[in-house]
Amino acid sequence: MKLIKFKLLFGGIFYKKLRLFLSILGITIGVASLFTMHTFGESARVRTLQQIETFGPNLLMIVSGQARVRAGRALQAEQTTTLKLEDAQALRRISEITNISPFYTGSAIVRQGGRNISTVINGVNEEYLKIRKFEISEGRNFLKDEIVGFKKVAILGHKVKKELFGNGKAEGETILINRLPFIVIGVLSPIGVDASNQDQDDQILIPITTAMSALFNVDYITGIYVAVSSPDVVPIVEKQIDEILLKRHKVSPKDRDFNIIKAEDIFKFRQEASQLFTTLVQSVSILCLIVGSLGVTAVMLLSVNERRKEIGLRLAIGADRLKILLQFLLESIFISFLGGLIGLFLGIFASIIFLPLLKYPLVIAWRPIIVSSLLTIIFGLISGIYPAYRASKIDPAILLKGM
């Protein structure tokens, strides 16, 4: 009986299937994009947080040159050669610094067996792994002697190891980096992409001394990683580093030839970038919903016009105008909600497919689901007001004019 009642009230919606499809299309697209983008935004946020973990709040990075943080990345505006290994040594006298590792980054061709790959070579010291909180899955870390002694030893990133050795053992094997033989002493656990957007699995770590002399033949370094005792002392340490380096480089603050980057900076810029993205996408989706609901309005107007006789009949058999108004308002809400529901499913579907594909963590948040559902109901209501008003104003006298 409920079913018959429901059918007699809303059966008209399903009578013209194509029209129903067209009217929900706009809403469906709007909600699907709203939801998908929301999910992507949320996922990006979670990913950023994960990346920040590899660049902890107690870390500082000093890079040479006029580096800037842009869009969450440390960009080196120009290469300068003024940052030296001795600068890193000099920083050790700051008491709050617990670990320090200079680094030199270059790229090289690596050969093993018949395989050639091109990868990133990072010259570091034995403290680097501790600073970055990188784990070793096989073998061991560098020894201090190996760093001081210009030893040709290497720790492979997870992906590099896979490419060179597959599932086999890498420890103890010899690889050629730019034709120089290095002995593999360890392999890193999978890390992923870090805050500077570099794939930390696609790299080889070697002693900084070896990198600067034998491999790249330079007398300067790319930067210095510094770990401090607690996040609270970061500002003090930053200031001290700045003073020491300015003095050593004999430059005024305005000609500073190095840059100090904190986790906070990266996080802040990342947040701003994703905020901008989210706002943009949300505005577009809302716009899409508005266009969609205009579509619903247009189709409902058409439908009201087409069903004038049905409306007249309902009035003649005892409906009052309020009931007609409510009926058509509910129809609009129903249509939008149906569109929204389908859009939601499409959005969830798209998220499940594309998030893993783009290597984003799969996050299905409740907030966008609730927000989109509410929005479709509201837009349905808004888009239904005028058609429903028109429906309620139909004169039942038309019934008697023959056809």
Please report, as ranges, the residues that interact with other proteins according to CB under 8 A: 1, 4-5, 7-9, 11-12, 14-15, 309-310, 312-323, 396-397, 399-403
**Cα–Cα distance between 29 and 341 in angstroms, integer?**
11
Q: How far is the CB of 6 from other proteins (least distance, A)?
A: 10
Nearer to other proteins, 57 or 396 (CB): 396
CA distances from 275 to 49, 196, 383 (A): 14, 18, 30
Nearer to other proteins, 241 or 394 (CB): 394
**Cα–Cα distance between 193 and 106 in angstroms, integer?**
18
**Cα–Cα distance between 183 and 178 in angstroms, integer?**
14
Backbone φ and ψ for 116, nearest 5 degrees, come out as: -120, 125
Q: How far is the CB of 295 from other proteins (least distance, A)?
A: 22
Q: How far is the CB of 397 from other proteins (least distance, A)?
A: 5
Nearer to other proteins, 11 or 235 (CB): 11
Q: How far is the CB of 400 from other proteins (least distance, A)?
A: 4
Nearest alpha carbon to residue 78 among 249, 234, 222: 222
Q: How far is the CB of 335 from other proteins (least distance, A)?
A: 15
CA distances from 19 to 15, 24, 326, 336 (A): 9, 9, 21, 13
How far apart are the two ends of the chain, measured CA to CA in Å?
32
Nearer to other proteins, 108 or 324 (CB): 324
Nearer to other proteins, 138 or 310 (CB): 310
Nearer to other proteins, 9 or 284 (CB): 9
Contacts of 320 (CB under 8 A, 6+ apart): none
Nearer to other proteins, 313 or 365 (CB): 313
Q: Which amino acid is at 397?
A: A
Nearer to other proteins, 253 or 318 (CB): 318
Nearer to other proteins, 214 or 399 (CB): 399
